[in-house]
């Protein structure tokens, strides 16, 4: 198999990525009318698949797109796509759009969802990023008010990510009216006085699968966890600042807008959570 042209799944067929095609009237293309999820695999084993599939099911429910598969079928399809990739650590991308129909905003009748699944190697942050932490910039959150849905219409997130890229930094940390929301594709965590805090599970953020996981890991290793609104001053004045996502895992943010966070190096809570995460992801 050509590793630059892996097998993907599209609407019932397994085909090389370069040959996968969707019609231009697919509502994913026309309206960004679709949802997605990204499941990590370590040593070819899915990490927290039930949680990812539950989140996908919720995104589908919230957008009124019928869930095309039961959990067993999703697991089988993900397994088959990932089996075609040589890398043993992977990110599997699953997308479901409302389907193909004549253009018109409201839901069309009798439309079949488009299902696409592809796998890519999971490349975790480099040793340098882990040891030194990373720089981030802040940006006003310009997204819609249903950030809890993992929708493919990601223009606000794309613009935030590009803001970070154009500043040569890893991530953009978003604030809405002075309150922390999240990164362009990460959840953000603040440490003060040994307590790990993150914004509440509400419509203003996507609840990462690592949200619940870090909460669990905190319980297991004795770190106090709080889910609460966090003001900008509490972010800039934090002892530590972290981000999490399937691809970044847990990563320390050591500067924000060029200002040092805490001592400017990854701190003890980061190290404890990083170690716990590494154990959890390889646990049998």
* Shortest CB 35 distance to ligand PLP, Å: 12
Is 150 an active-site residue?
yes
Half-sphere exposure for 34 (CA within 13 Å, toward CB): 24
The residue annotated as part of the active site, out of 52, 55, 130, 150, is: 150
Is 210 near ligand PLP (CB under 6 A)?
yes
Residue nearest to ligand PLP (CB): 208
185 is a site residue for ligand PLP (CB under 6 A): yes
209 binds ligand PLP (CB under 6 A): yes
Quickly list DSSP for 87-124. Answer: -SSEEEEEEEE--B-SS-SSPPSS-PPEEEEEEEE--P
H-helix or E-strand spanning residue 78:
helix 71-83
Binding mask of the shown chain, residues 15 to 44, with x at each position contacting ligand PLP by CB under 6 A: -----------------------x------
| Minimum distance from residue 206 beta carbon to ligand PLP (Å) | 4
CB 136 within 8 A of CB 170: yes
| The one segment of 98-106, 131-139, 203-211, 274-282 that binds ligand PLP by CB under 6 A | 203-211
Q: Which is nearer to ligand PLP, 39 or 100 (CB)?
A: 39
Q: Dig out the tokens for 53 from the structure.
A: 């599939």
- Applying CB under 6 A, among 117, 206, 235, 241 the residue interacting with ligand PLP is 206
Cβ neighbours of residue 142 closer than 8 Å, sequence gap 6 or more? 156, 159, 160
| Minimum CB distance to ligand PLP, residue 273 (Å) | 13
User: In Å, how far from its chain's centre is CA 161?
Assistant: 13
> Taking CB under 6 A as the rule, does residue 244 contact ligand PLP?
yes
Residue among 25 and 220 whose Cβ is closer to ligand PLP: 220
Distance CA 202, CA 146 (A): 9
For 165, half-sphere exposure in the C-beta direction (CA atoms, 13 angstrom radius) is: 8
Query: Which of 246, 251, 256, 276 is in the footprint of ligand PLP by CB under 6 A?
Result: 246
Distances, alpha carbon 34 to alpha carbons 22, 96, 115, 118, in Å? 13, 6, 10, 16
Q: In the complex, which residues of this chain contact ligand PLP (CB under 6 A)? A: 38, 157, 182, 185-187, 206, 208-210, 244-246
């Amino acid at each position: 198999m050509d590793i630059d042209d892996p097998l993907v799944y599209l609407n019932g067929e397994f085909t090389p990525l370069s040959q996968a095609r969707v019609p231009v009237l697919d509502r994913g293309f026309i309206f960004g009318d679709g949802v997605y999820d990204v499941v990590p695999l370590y040593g070819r084993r899915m990490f927290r698949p039930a949680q990812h599939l539950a989140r996908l099911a919720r995104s589908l429910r919230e957008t009124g797109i019928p869930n095309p598969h039961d959990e067993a079928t999703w697991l089988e399809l993900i397994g088959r796509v990932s089996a075609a990739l040589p890398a043993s650590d992977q990110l599997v991308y699953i997308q479901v759009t409302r389907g193909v129909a004549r253009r018109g905003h409201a839901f069309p009748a009798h439309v079949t969802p488009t299902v696409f699944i592809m796998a890519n190697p999971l490349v975790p942050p480099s040793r340098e990023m882990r040891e030194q932490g990373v720089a981030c910039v802040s940006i006003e959150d310009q997204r819609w008010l249903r950030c809890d849905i993992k929708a493919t219409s990601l223009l606000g997130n794309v613009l935030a990510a590009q803001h970070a890229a154009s500043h040569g930094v890893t991530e953009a940390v978003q604030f809405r009216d002075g309150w922390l929301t999240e990164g362009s594709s990460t959840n953000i965590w603040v440490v003060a006085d040994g307590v790990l805090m993150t914004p509440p599970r509400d419509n203003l953020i996507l609840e990462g699968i690592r949200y619940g996981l870090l909460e669990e890991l905190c319980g297991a290793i004795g770190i106090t966890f709080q889910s609460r609104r966090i003001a900008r001053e509490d972010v800039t004045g934090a002892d530590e600042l972290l981000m999490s996502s399937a691809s970044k895992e847990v990563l320390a943010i050591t500067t924000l807008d060029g200002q040092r966070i805490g001592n400017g190096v990854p701190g003890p809570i980061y190290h404890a959570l990083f170690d716990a995460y590494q154990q959890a992801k390889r646990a049998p």
